[in-house]
Amino acid sequence: SASAASTTLPHYNRQLSTSTVASSVKFAAVDHAEAYEQAIAGRHGKQLALAYLEGKGKDDAPFDPFDVLVENDNDDDEEEEEEQLDENTQVAEFVEKEEETIETASSSSSSEEEEESTLGTSSSSSLLYNNDGSLVRPKSQLAAFKAGAPAGGVFAIIELGGTQHKITVDDVIISNKLKPVSDYAIGTVHEFNPLLVGSSHVTLVGLPHVGGTVKLMVEEITRDATILVFKKRRKKHSRRKNGFRRQVTMLRVLDITLPEEYNSSSSDSTASSSTDTKAEA
């Protein structure tokens, strides 16, 4: 159990503090909230505001000049409709009563069909990912990202399959095949202890691990693209050409959580800063 110590970094004017969440978990915390807020208040914040303006109006429907003509025609038709409303109210009330009686009789038979249709439409309309695994984002957001707006929030570095991966939420990790397959079956959710976790206001460097958690879900177990292995012996009439496909496991990042003492403060600060930049835009 090491005691808390603090030193000042020379060029960044930030405090480096080591703290212990448990006896086996130690990490160093670098607080750069003031530097980030100063950058947002200065030139960097203005650049982000311009980036968000690039996506303004991208999601609107295309302009149709005939809509103006239709609106003018509708104004003339509204006066005629108001005169006919008084005559049709009595007929409409009578029809509504008959329809209510018919609906109550057929509600029991049509309830099952409606449930099946809603399940089919919800699965098709609530698509979150494209065919390549990327998120379905609106055109305004894509235009803002292309102009330089930040695309991610909290990021982490984890060790998986013998390699380190820098990830954020909704990313896809392509790792070497995780074994045993019975433990890493498709659809299973696993928690990992990250080596580093960072946000716009704080960075936690594990010694060697951070107390937060990263949740991953196994999406697919497949093989990678073919790699050609060609070997030729000069002047020996010998050549060899083989193909190799690596077995991989694809995982989706579901959530990244910081330690309890940093989780609430960092999330609130990142949310407030993002809303401020969008409000300026």
- Can you give the pLDDT at residue 11? 40
Query: Which tokens in the block code for residue 5?
Result: 């110590």
- CA distance linking residue 179 with residue 185, whole number of Å: 9
Q: Where are the alpha helices (DSSP H) in the chain?
A: 33-41, 43-54, 66-125, 139-147, 260-280
Q: How confident is the model at residue 139 (pLDDT cuts 50, 70, 90)?
A: confident
**What mean pLDDT, rounded, does the chain reach?**
76
When mean pLDDT is compared across 1-5, 171-175, 177-181, 248-252, the lowest value belongs to: 1-5
* Rg of the chain (C-alpha set): 29
Average pLDDT over residues 116-143: 69
Instruction: Report helix, strand or coil for 193.
Output: coil
Q: How confident is the model at residue 129 (pLDDT cuts 50, 70, 90)?
A: confident
Is pLDDT of 256 > 80? yes
How far CA 148 is from CA of 131, 141, 233, in Å, comes to 25, 11, 50
Give yes or no for a contact between 210 and 194, defined as CB atoms under 8 angstroms apart: yes
Is pLDDT of 278 > 50? no
- Can you give the pLDDT at residue 52? 87
pLDDT digits (tens, 9 = 90+) for 56-98: 888 888 877 777 666 666 666 666 666 666 666 655 665 566 6
Cα within 13 Å of Cα(22), Cβ side:
9
- Can you give the pLDDT at residue 260? 83
- Can you give the pLDDT at residue 274? 44
pLDDT digits (tens, 9 = 90+) for 11-62: 444 444 444 444 456 889 898 889 888 888 998 888 888 888 888 888 888 8
- CA distance linking residue 109 with residue 112, whole number of Å: 7
